[in-house]
A and B are shown apart, each in its own frame.
Chain A
Amino acid sequence: MRKNNCEMVRRELEELMLGEACSTAATEHLRDCASCREFHEQQTKLRQIVGSLGTVEAPADFDFRLRARLAQSNGSVVYWPFARRGLAIAATVLVFLIGVVVVRDVMNKRGVDYVAKQPEVHEPAKPADVTPVVKDEKKPEQVAVNEAPPIIKKSDGHPQTNYRKRPLSSLAISSTGAEVINGKPPLNMSAAFPIDASPQAFTVSLEDGRGNARTISVPTISFGSQRIVQRGNQLTPKRVW
């Protein structure tokens, strides 16, 4: 009970302003309780010391410096919102451009991946101003590139074409070969170059029109994979060119 009383009185003393009179109950308690009296005395002294710190004055040039500072900050206040807006717009445009570049890059990559998955077909070199003469003993058959591919009968009796379905892009790549071989203009640029996987070397004699002749031996053309070569051997008739 007495302890509670002490706590209540001390709390009351804490909340009083310096020099403010306390309640009669607190005064009576202070008269009886020595520890609370000591607390009150120490508290009063401490608050007097702290209160004696007083107010520190601002320097004489405070107003002058403040005015200069306000003038400086006013300038930045006027222009900063515009600068901030400009920065925001620039950042938005930058993000948009980066987004466009990334999306385009991703789209292109997808396209490349799709083409890369197809079997590669090497395009033979195209001579510039020479008339090619085929030295091969056997007369090469004209390849009708726009014709339908030969139909092969499967063991179950159903007809089947001899090439796998490929996209147009790969067909276009192989369309220039016939011109080199038989000296005639290509029948159709979009037609397919026939895949001959013959392992024999191919010899070509070239004349420049002044009596000079040159023989070129073309090595076996690689079509990119042994699997294709083997399949070509099985399906393509020999010496089509």
Chain B
Amino acid sequence: MNTLTTIDELGFAPALQQDVLEDRTSDHALLEATRSGDQDAFAELVSRYRNQITSYIYRMTNDYDGAVDLAQETFVRVYGAADRYQRTYAFSTYIYRIATNLAISELRKRKRRKLVSLTGFFQPTDGGEAKELNPPDGRPLQDLELVDTERRNAVQRAIGTLPEKYRAPLILRDVDGHSYDEIAKILETSEGTVKSRISRARGFLREKMRAYL
């Protein structure tokens, strides 16, 4: 007669180990470890989110160097506020919120400094149809890759002309693929507002991108 001597023999061991492992490597756990001085845990968090955050801020600001700088500032703030972090929301929501605030703050600073981007140079101030610096000629290009690149540039420019309150939810939804609930938490607004803003942003884009659709 066999007697079970350890819990491993019950067959639950792999599942338990998996749970423990997942718990140890969750964002919350990593931040907890960071709080207690574990530099490797913070390095792991950075490696998980650095591309997402850099990309998101780049889509918001349309400036790669500035986006890298703001992404680093985001991580600095996460690190500095690790002691005050609460598990109310997912860590991704938390870090995206910081990134959003930084990006919007940067956009407002630029507005105050009246920085004029070359792509938005021909944008009318009365809210009418924007004229592109390099407008598409409408003729089909031979190289598919060129067409694709041109289309991406056009959509990036078009996103850059959106007001920031429409830009952020559109990028979070259509570029980064977040759910409405997550976006609402990131932007600290209601889900209904997020849906209506995304719908309006798509409407704007559809008008601007008519030649490519």
Contacts and interface: CB of A to CB of B under 8 A. Distances in A.
B72 A50 contact: no
Interface in A28-66: 42-43, 45-47, 49-59, 62-63, 65-66
A66 B212 CA distance: 40
A127 B192 CA distance: 98
Nearest to A53: B175
B79 A53 contact: no
A73 interface: yes
A64 to B, nearest CB: 11
A79 to B, nearest CB: 14
B54 A62 contact: yes
B72 A62 contact: yes
Given A46-B213, A73-B76, A14 B202 contact: yes
A46 B76 contact: no
B198 interface: yes
B72 A65 contact: yes
Contacts of A89: none
A63 B43 CA distance: 8
A70 interface: yes
Nearest to A57: B51
Nearest to B42: A70
B41 to A, nearest CB: 14
Given A50-B170, A51-B175, A53-B152, A69 B76 contact: yes
Nearest to B205: A46
A15 B195 contact: yes
B64 interface: yes
Contacts of A43: 202, 206
Tell me whether chain B's interface is mostly helix, strand or loop, or mixed. helix
B59 A53 contact: yes
A77 interface: yes
B195 A49 contact: no
B202 A66 contact: no
A72 B88 CA distance: 30
B176 to A, nearest CB: 8
Tier of interface size on chain A: 20 to 34
A52 B76 contact: no
Nearest to B159: A50
A232 B127 CA distance: 89
B85 interface: no
B206 A49 contact: no
Instruction: Categorize the interface residue count of chain B.
Output: 35 or more
A113 B146 CA distance: 89
A50 B175 contact: yes
B36 to A, nearest CB: 16
B154 to A, nearest CB: 8
B166 interface: no
Given A50-B175, A53-B156, A73-B76, A62 B50 contact: yes
Nearest to A45: B213
B151 interface: yes
A17 B182 CA distance: 14
B51 A55 contact: yes
Contact of B64 (A46, A52, A56, A70): A56
Interface string B42-82: 01001100111011001100001001100110011001100
Contacts of A53: 59, 152, 155-156, 175
Interface of A: 11, 14-15, 17-18, 42-43, 45-47, 49-59, 62-63, 65-66, 69-70, 73, 77
25 contacts: A14-B199, A18-B174, A42-B213, A43-B206, A46-B202, A46-B213, A47-B174, A47-B202, A49-B152, A49-B155, A50-B170, A52-B148, A53-B59, A53-B152, A55-B52, A56-B51, A56-B54, A56-B58, A58-B68, A59-B68, A62-B68, A69-B76, A70-B75, A70-B76, A73-B76
Given A18-B174, A50-B170, 12 more contacts: A11-B199, A14-B199, A50-B175, A50-B205, A52-B151, A53-B156, A54-B55, A55-B55, A58-B71, A62-B50, A63-B50, A70-B76
Interface of B: 43, 46-47, 50-52, 54-55, 58-59, 64, 67-68, 71-72, 75-76, 79-80, 148, 151-152, 155-156, 159, 170, 174-175, 177, 180, 195, 198-199, 202, 205-206, 209, 212-213
